[in-house]
């Protein structure tokens, strides 16, 4: 998560919690007039359209006042879905033993993409087994990570 996304998370988390939801994380995709600010929310009883609409109203009010994004953007509020995004160390801890898809910001051993079993978390590193080989991936270098759903 970028510093900007971290600042947005800190700014918007209280509004999401006031709607009785959990803010899993934020993605900001900068694309000029087509930029997107995406919030992933969750609740122990699931997320429905009304939950997303309520969080959108709460968050929009804060964004209008604070104005942290100077360009045009679309606000999207979403449930995590089946390919649940992973943002924080606690999210990784919940899915040890599951298949994850990790994209690094900076390459490790010439590669950025790692899809395999999350074996463990040691210190601030993910241990991911890909095709029989274990890789130690610094959480600080993770650009994006998702849980791969089982069907």
Tens digit of each residue's pLDDT (9 = 90 or more) over 56-111 = 999 999 999 998 988 899 999 999 988 999 999 999 999 999 999 999 999 998 99
**Domains recognised in the chain with CATH numbers:** 3-78 (3.30.300.70), 89-147 (2.30.30.100)
- Cβ atoms < 10 Å from Cβ of 92: 22
Work out the average pLDDT over 120-137.
95
CA distance 37 to 73: 7
Supply the mean pLDDT for the chain: 93
Distances in Å between the Cα of 137 and the Cα atoms of 38, 53, 94, 97, 114 are 25, 36, 17, 16, 9
Distance of CA 120 to the CA centre of its chain: 19
Section 123-135 average pLDDT:
95
Predicted local confidence at residue 3, as pLDDT? 85
Strand partners, 75: 37
Instruction: Please give the Cα distance from 57 to 115 (Å, whole number).
Output: 36
CA 5-1-67 angle, to 5 degrees, is 5
pLDDT tens-place string over residues 46-68: 999 999 999 999 999 999 999 89
Q: Which pLDDT band, with edges at 50, 70 and 90, does 1 fall under?
A: low
Model confidence at 150: pLDDT above 90: no
């Amino acid at each position: 998560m970028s510093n900007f996304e971290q600042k947005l998370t800190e700014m918007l988390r209280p509004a999401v919690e006031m709607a009785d939801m959990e803010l899993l994380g934020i993605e900001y995709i900068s694309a000029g007039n087509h930029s997107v600010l995406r919030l992933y929310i969750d609740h122990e009883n699931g997320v429905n359209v009304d939950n997303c609409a309520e969080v959108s109203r709460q968050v929009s009010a804060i964004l209008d006042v604070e104005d942290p994004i100077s360009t045009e953007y679309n606000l999207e509020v979403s449930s995590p879905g089946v390919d649940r995004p992973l943002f924080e160390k606690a999210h990784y801890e919940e899915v040890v033993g599951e298949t994850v898809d990790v994209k690094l910001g900076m390459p490790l051993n010439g590669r950025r993409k790692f899809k395999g079993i999350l074996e463990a978390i040691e210190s601030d590193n993910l241990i991911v087994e890909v095709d029989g080989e274990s890789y130690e991936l610094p959480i600080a270098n993770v650009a994006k990570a998702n849980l791969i759903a089982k069907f």
